[in-house]
Amino acid sequence: MISQVQMSRAPDPSSLPLRGHYQQHHHPGYLGGGTFGYVCSGMVHGNNRCAIKVSRGLGRSPAMGGQDPQFVREVTTLSKLQSHPNIVTMLGFVAAGQADDEDAAAAGQGSCLIVMEEMATSLQAVIEGVGPLPVPSTLTRIGILRDVSSALHFMHSQGYVHRDIKPANVLLSHSYIAKLCDFGGCFTVKELDNGAATAACATVEYACPNHPLCQQCSCDIYSLGLVMVQVVYLIDIYRAKDRLNLRDPPNAQLADMMDVADACVRGYLQIAF
């Protein structure tokens, strides 16, 4: 049962440490979804809330034991990055074909699950002005940028490229601690050098125009820059009513924040290029 799971900080994806009755962690709230599947809230270890990412199990590979390569990549990558405080915490997972019939019927035949800590909301929701958190102060926004930058720097130092940096993939706690999530499109630099990525980044609006396949760390930096602009102005730059001229100078009242953002970007540019 999920309530009995005790995972190490760096689990072996083949060990399948999370198994058992899916219906015992209830699905009271739908948190979001996409082509991969959906995320809902649940309970683990008794009364502790968690977020459950349910994969549709598309594109399974016989070479990976019938598992979805994107699911395998996400679990493997998350397990190796758990030591950083600004990477979302993975509590466990269930791979396709590991559940009994009762479980499969309850969760959806062939679904792959990743159980993670539940956060308060996403950075995208804060930018849009929806969700449970109030508008963050300038100092708080600087903290969010530092958290995301720190997580990305750690990933790059470990040889990984995220390939889908955007506000929706940044989660926030009630105290505005930011954590990076969604590692299904992540590859190592070595894998990318060997041509592992054959498709463009998951979100084309955040992809570097010169490198649509996002095959190097600098592509993540480009995406990070777009995220920073939106955190500074607290607007979605891709919504028609919020269009702004990115060549315009920033508001003088946000000069201190832009100095921090500039320092973050310049620091990472030295590493990425």
Count CB-CB contacts under 10 A for residue 183: 26
Burial class of residue 108 (count of CB atoms within 10 Å of its CB; 0-12, 13-18, 19+) = middle
Dihedral sign computed on CA atoms, order 226, 208, 259, 148: positive
Q: What DSSP state is assigned to residue 242?
A: G
Three-state secondary structure of 166-229 = CHHHEEECCCCCEEECCCCCCEEHHHHHCCCCCCCCCCHHHCCCCCCCCCCHHHHHHHHHHHHH
Chain-centroid distance, C-alpha 168 = 8
User: In DSSP terms, which residues pair with 40 in a beta bridge?
Assistant: 30, 52
| Secondary structure (3-state) at 95 | coil
Please tell me whether 53 is known to bind a ligand.
yes
Query: Concatenated DSSP letters for 14-54?
Result: GG----S-GGGS---EEEEEETTEEEEEEEETTTEEEEEEE
CB-count exposure of residue 63 (10 Å: 0-12, 13-18, 19+):
exposed
Q: In the structure, how many helices (H) and strands (E) does the chain have?
A: 7, 10
Residue ranges of the annotated binding site are 53
Residue ranges of the annotated binding site for ATP are 53
